[in-house]
Amino acid sequence: MSSFSLDDIRAAADRKYGSTDIEVGDTVVRLLNPLRMPKAQRDKLIGIQKEMEVEGEEVDQVVVFQNAIRTIAQTATQANALIKAIGDDLGVLAEVFERYTEGQSVGEASSSAA
């Protein structure tokens, strides 16, 4: 019979569904895996993703990416640090999200060192 503690299970979930961490100076910005977010936060992220996919409408992609960072960052302070460091550079914002989504595949290990 297998026996596990809840701490063992949490550690396995951290390894499997961990965050994507980005160093910004002395700060580490932790972008949470959607599976580890509260439902309301996941729902907000889904709404933002739908905004990104809308065709034919003028959508300010910088604003949408920044709103997504505010939603997925572990804290508002971390989100603000990352947004301030990136500014309006759409290429860097897109790269952040490419790396974030690569690390969020179900069952794939996180890029986090945690």
- Please state the domain extents for the chain: 6-102
| Helix (H) or strand (E) segment spanning residue 60 | none
Which residues neighbour 106 within 8 Å (Cβ) at sequence distance 6 or greater? Answer: 17, 35
Secondary structure of residue 21 in the 3-state scheme: strand
| The amino acid at 35 | L
What is the per-residue pLDDT across 15-48, written as a single tens digit (0 to 9) for each?
A: 899 999 999 999 999 999 999 999 999 999 999 9
What CA–CA distance (Å, rounded) separates 27 from 15?
21
What is the per-residue pLDDT across 89-109, written as a single tens digit (0 to 9) for each?
A: 999 999 999 999 886 754 444
Length of the chain: 114
Residue 21 contacts residue 32 (beta carbons within 8 Å): no
As a whole number of Å, the end-to-end CA separation of the chain is 29
What is the per-residue pLDDT across 43-102, written as a single tens digit (0 to 9) for each?
A: 999 999 888 777 666 888 999 999 999 999 999 999 999 999 999 999 999 999 999 988
pTM to 2 decimal places: 0.80
Residue in the block written with tokens 């905004």: 51
